[in-house]
Every structure is written in structure tokens, then in C-alpha cells.
Amino acid sequence: MQIDIIGVPIDLGADRRGVDMGPSAIRYAGLQKKLEDLGYTVKDEGNIEVPIAEMCTIKNPKLKYLDCIVPMSRRVSGAVSTSIQAGNFPLVIGGDHSLSIGSVRGAARNKKIGVIWFDAHADFNTDKTTPSGNIHGMSLAALTGYGDKSLVQLWDETIPVIDPNKIAIVGARDLDPGEKDNLRNANAMVLSMEQIDRFGMVAMMEKAIEHVSRDVDGIYFSFDLDALDPQFAPGVGTPVPAGITHREAHLACEMIAETGKLIGLDIVEVNPILDIQNQTAKLAVEFALSALGSRIWAGNL
């Protein structure tokens, strides 16, 4: 299988600058060579064109930089769709989580897919519920048909892109009040840190995988590095304490790889400005490798 690396250097969806340098940091951490060492053919497709904030304007404070994020999302969607149609595997590196409005849509073109959303946040706000106006907090809502028409449709009438009953949010621990209402209305599966603490990562990932993998053509995995506890991943824009451990994240990725159904992967929200010696970008590479089959030991127990 060929892996297509697609960089999306966007920070328009977030308040903190710097996450646009995430793709460079992840590449610098040795992504391509380490994937090749696993036996994959790898092609780096470069970066999707993304304007900088100084080129854009905020017309609606509840939908910041909408006019620049929508064209970016269309370009990302096209790149991911092209990769999958060629029989390849798109690995999208960011950049803030608004990029997933495009990447997941591209993966879902002519397919029915399930989505595992690994994140401290549910990203299920709309312009009616958002306290910040940051679109990286609206990505999953838009993909499931909630929110502003421009984000929900992009350029076509496919609504929703993803069935809300085919998503599983893992690691959530920072949800806004209106966002909670949206999640309840959508009947979305939210596996919070409380549930992971209570029942363990294995049980929660088994539940998530079973939930999203029934009657689908594949699973898309969108991994926000702020799902981890900040002691492991300091280089993220919206850190939240009491998160997933380094080893728990590897285990989750390994279990997804074992399904054999993974068709695409986002690695997002790496912010080198806030990082320590590229630590978070190095973790991003590690988790991508685990999701794509890397193991400590491949023998029998």
C-alpha cells in the first residue's frame, strides 16, 4: 500500500498561532523514513494551499475565518478523495482540527464510513453554541450535519457526510454546555476520560470500534494530540489536564490497526511553538506508526 502524506498548514480554526507549523515538525520527526521502514511506499504530496491569517478577515465572530476555511476544506477533501480513489492511504498532518471538515468528507465520498475522533474536545459546537467562534471546535458537528450551511455542505448537498451513529469520540474531558446538547440531540457516542478511567482503554476502544465499524466500508481515524495529557504532549494549542497516557494512546492506535478497516488518518494540532524539543511531533509520528501496524513485538503470547 502507498501512503500519501498530505500536509495542511492551517491555524485559522484556532485562537493560538503556530499550529500551521505542525506539518513541518512532524516531517522533521522522521515520518516518511519511519513509514518506509515499516515496509510502505510513501509519497509526500506536499502541503495544501492555505492562506495565512493576515490574508483573511473575520466577518462573523461566531465563524472566524469562514471564508478562508471553506476553500481550504474543499482542497483537502479533493486531495484525500483522490488518494483513496487511487487505492492509496491518505495520512493528513496538521494544522488545526478544522482540516478534518475536508479530510473526512473526502474519505466519505462514495463510501459509508465510521469515524473515531480521538480528542479532549468533541468539536461538536455550531455557530449557535460556540463560546469562541473557533471553527476547529465545529468540525465533527459539521460532518454530521450540524451547523452553518457553508461548513456542512462545502460545495455539494451531501448531508450529513457521516451518520452521527457512526462516530465515537474518545478521551473527551472539555465539553461546552451547548455542545453537550448538540451531542445528545445527535445521539453521538462520547467515551469520556471518566469512562476510560473506570473501565479501561481496552474496553472503551472495543466499544468504539464495534460502534463505528458495523455496515461501513472503512474507518477513518482523526487524532488530535490534545487527547493526551499535557505532560506527554505539551505542544498543543488547547491542552487539557488529566488526559490519555502515552501508552494508552499507543494501545488505542494498535487496536484500530488490528481491525484492518482503517482507510485514512488525521494527525492534528501539533504546535511547535509550544512544544519542548519537538516532543509532541515525535509522538505524532509514533502514533501514526502504531495505527499503521507498528508493534513492539509481533510474535505470539
Residue numbers annotated as active site: 97, 119, 121, 123, 136, 224, 226, 269
Residue 193, CB-side half-sphere exposure with 13 Å CA sphere:
19
Report CA torsion sign: 106, 111, 112, 115: negative
Is residue 42 within 8 A of residue 32, CB to CB? The reply is yes
* Nine-digit cell string for 191: 467515551
